[in-house]
């Protein structure tokens, strides 16, 4: 009789163990099963905030749970990055912000106690690309021709940039590609992109290197010569920087501007790979919805799917460029 009771008890314990395991597995399979929070490391109303809020609305439908958006601004994104990393890494919090170059700049300039490896980047949805644009009244038709003119008369020509911008660094990379230096041109700095563009449009400087989207407003006054990107842009009839440099036999890693997108904790990806994939798939599905993409377009928001691998590759390669030009970026 004792043996029977022990057997029954053992069977009950085994059954409860199996039940507990089943419930635990089911709970993981059911993720997400509670509210998700998107952390924007910048203030409300900006491009990163608008992107995050539209993405949150769409991904609520994809994931079947509510997604709230909170802003944690300060320190050029550093405050928000730190806040996010201190939140649970179980998939209840994601960083939905300008994931580049703000994280890299915080690491390089603000003695951040985190690294790029603390983030698992999911996608860079909307990235600013710099445009190399010449005043339309100048005779040079290509970047090669403009570079040749600089070589012929060092110090005569000028380029407008914003201090610490990716445009400034891309201008230096372009000069390097042609075997030129910063001393060969007059680099004129302006405190705003608008002022730098106006200077090129009005002929106060020869060229400007600034965001391509923002330069559409002065398209009739400038001639596009190249874009700092891996591929051409639909709005500008211009080659990529490396296409322009092809005759020089060199390639330059283009530095991209602000990249709005989504990142998770690196430990979330390590501990819950299925959940990370679920989030990745939901994001990709959102950007495959023509209706959603059209709504983003109407708001002037990009909708590119790069995926985790490509997004991470761009951010890490650009980190090395920013590190090299840290004195300029700072």
Q: CATH code at 52?
A: 3.40.190.150
- Together in a domain, 145 and 231: yes
Mean pLDDT of 277-291: 98
Q: How confident is the model at residue 281 (pLDDT cuts 50, 70, 90)?
A: very high
Proportion of the chain above pLDDT 90, given as a percent: 85
Mean pLDDT, the chain, integer:
91
Find the mean pLDDT for residues 299-311.
96
Quick one: pLDDT at residue 26?
44
Tokens 């106006």 sit on residue: 198
Q: What is the mean pLDDT of residues 269-279?
A: 98
Q: 139 and 242, same structural domain? A: yes
Query: 111: pLDDT confidence band, cut at 50, 70 and 90?
Result: confident
Instruction: List pLDDT tens digits, range 40-88.
Output: 999 999 999 999 999 999 999 999 999 999 999 999 899 999 999 999 9
- Does residue 227 lie within any of the structural domains? yes
Residue 4 lies in a domain: no
Residue 196 in any domain: the answer is yes
Report if residue 21 sits inside a domain.
Answer: no
The answer to whether residues 184 and 294 belong to one domain is no
Task: Looking at the structure, tell me whether residues 82 and 230 fall in a common domain.
Answer: no
Cis ω for the linkage preceding 40 (within 30 of 0)? no
**Least trusted range by pLDDT, from 9-18, 56-65, 147-156, 223-232:** 9-18
Asked if the structure places residue 190 within a domain, the reply is yes
What's the full length of the chain, in residues?
A: 330
**Boundary of a domain, candidates 184, 216, 248:** 248
Phi (first) and psi of residue 123, to 5 degrees: -165, 140
Q: Same domain, yes or no, for 144 and 290?
A: no
Q: Each residue of 92-109: pLDDT tens digit?
A: 999 999 999 999 999 999
pLDDT higher than 70, residue 216: yes
User: Confidence class of residue 1 from pLDDT cuts 50, 70 and 90?
Assistant: very low
CA-closest candidate to residue 229, choices 119, 79, 105, 127: 127
Closest to 105 (Cα-Cα) out of 211, 216, 259:
259
Range of the domain at 141: 130-248
Same domain, 325 and 295: yes
What is the number of other CB atoms lying within 10 angstroms of the CB of residue 189?
Answer: 14
Q: Do 265 and 237 fall into the same domain?
A: no
Same domain, 122 and 262: yes
264 within domain boundaries: yes
**Cα–Cα distance measured from residue 294 to residue 301, given in angstroms and rounded to the nearest whole number:** 9
Q: What is the mean pLDDT of the segment spanning 172-190? A: 96
- Considering the domain architecture, whether residues 85 and 111 belong to the same structural domain is answered as yes
Do 71 and 147 reside in the same domain of the chain? no
Does any domain span residue 9? no
Q: Which CATH number do you get for residue 213? A: 3.40.190.10
pLDDT at 4 over 90: no
The stretch 143-167 carries a mean pLDDT of 96
Put residue 304 in one of left, alpha, beta given phi > 0 → left and psi -120 to 50 → alpha: beta
Looking at the structure, do residues 106 and 199 belong to the same domain, yes or no? no
199 lies in some domain: yes
- pLDDT at site 326: 87
Confidence of residue 328 (pLDDT cuts 50, 70, 90): confident
Q: Are 93 and 85 in contact (CB under 8 A)?
A: no
The pLDDT score that the predictor gives to residue 188 is: 97
Q: Report the pLDDT averaged over residues 157-161.
A: 97
Domain end, chosen from 248, 277, 296, is at 248
pLDDT at residue 133 greater than cutoff 90:
yes
Count of domains in the chain? 2
What percentage of the chain reaches a pLDDT higher than 70?
Answer: 91
**Residue that is last in its domain, among 194, 229, 248:** 248
Same domain, 194 and 242: yes
pLDDT at 17: 54
């Amino acid at each position: 009789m004792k043996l029977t009771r022990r057997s029954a008890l053992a069977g009950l314990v085994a059954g409860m163990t199996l039940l507990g395991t089943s419930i635990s597995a089911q709970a993981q399979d059911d993720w997400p099963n509670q509210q998700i929070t998107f952390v924007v490391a910048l203030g409300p109303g900006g491009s990163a905030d608008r992107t995050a809020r539209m993405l949150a609305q769409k991904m609520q439908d994809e994931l079947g749970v509510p997604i709230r958006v909170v802003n944690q601004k300060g320190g050029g994104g550093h405050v928000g990055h730190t806040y996010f990393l201190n939140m649970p890494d179980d998939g209840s919090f994601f960083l939905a912000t300008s994931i580049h170059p703000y994280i890299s700049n915080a690491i390089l300039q603000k003695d951040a106690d985190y690294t790029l490896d603390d983030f698992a980047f999911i996608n860079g949805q909307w990235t600013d690309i710099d445009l190399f644009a010449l005043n339309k009244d100048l005779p040079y038709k290509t970047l090669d021709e403009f570079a040749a003119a600089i070589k012929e008369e060092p110090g005569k020509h000028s380029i407008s940039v914003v201090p610490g911008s990716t445009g400034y660094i891309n201008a230096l990379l372009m000069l390097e590609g042609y075997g030129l230096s910063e001393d060969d041109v007059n680099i004129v700095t302006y405190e705003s992109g608008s002022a730098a563009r106006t200077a090129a449009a009005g002929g106060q400087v020869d060229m400007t290197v600034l965001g391509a989207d923002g330069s559409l407003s002065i398209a009739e006054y400038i001639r596009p010569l190249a874009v700092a990107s891996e591929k051409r842009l639909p709005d500008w009839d211009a080659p990529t920087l490396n296409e322009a440099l092809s005759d020089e036999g060199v390639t330059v890693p283009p530095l991209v501007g602000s990249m709005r997108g989504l990142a998770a904790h690196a430990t979330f990806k390590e501990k819950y790979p299925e959940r990370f994939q679920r989030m990745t798939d939901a994001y990709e599905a959102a950007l495959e919805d023509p209706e959603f993409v059209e709504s983003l377009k109407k708001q002037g928001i990009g909708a590119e799917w790069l995926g985790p691998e490509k997004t991470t590759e761009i951010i890490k390669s650009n980190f090395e460029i920013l590190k090299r030009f840290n004195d300029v970026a700072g």
